[in-house]
Amino acid sequence: MNEYEIRAEYDGRSIIVYQAYRAAIALAALQNQRFVSPFSLNRMTWIKPSFLWLMERSNWGLKPGQEMILAVRITRQGWEEALAQAVLTAYDTRVYRDHADWQAQFEHTQVHVQWDPERTLRGKHLSVRSIQVGLSRQIIAKYVNDWTLEIRDYTPLVRKIYGLLQAGHETKARSFLPQERVYALDPKLARRIGIR
């Protein structure tokens, strides 16, 4: 197992990424099957293919402003287009010639990649790291208009899993988790984002 892995639910054409929003943004997106106002095209948005990582980040949709969990199915072509432009949020000697090289790329990139510890169902750290991708305002329009295929409301699913966890039914809760598996990349693209 690699230390860095993209874990996702995907098929031959698409990959699911997750985002947490307040109701006004989420409901408008669900109704239009596109992100529309009050979603802003002028600020960075982060997408995460790991369901459990987003559960940790949003505290199972309990954090203010993150009450609704959306599963956004986007094209694999768009996903990999984003990764091909990505620069890591932290300097990595395995990826960049030197700190100045990373700094120069970071200042001009449209896409950021950050690796954080993957989580268990109970929120504990795993040794493997999970990806989150930040799309800057220069590329968000592509995400919204070209890459997005479908937006689903996963809030009821999140509530169900969380309720089962709180009641001590971990095995049953686990049965409702999205079926994620390792998403393989072309070796050159994998190296660009720090996958060994």
Q: Contact 29/127 with Cβ under 8 angstroms?
A: no
Domain positions in the chain are 7-192
pLDDT of residue 157: 98
In 10 A of CB 37, how many CB atoms?
10
> pTM for this one?
0.95
| Residue listed under structure tokens 């990959």 | 15
CA pair distance 149, 82, nearest whole angstrom: 16
pLDDT of residue 1: 53
pLDDT of residue 48: 97
Nearest to 121 by CA among 156, 158, 67, 72: 158
Q: How far apart are the first and last CA of the chain?
A: 10
Q: Which residues of the chain have pLDDT under 70?
A: 1-2
pLDDT of residue 53: 95
Map residue 24 onto helix, strand or coil: helix
pLDDT of residue 196: 76
pLDDT of residue 13: 98
CA pair distance 77, 96, nearest whole angstrom: 25
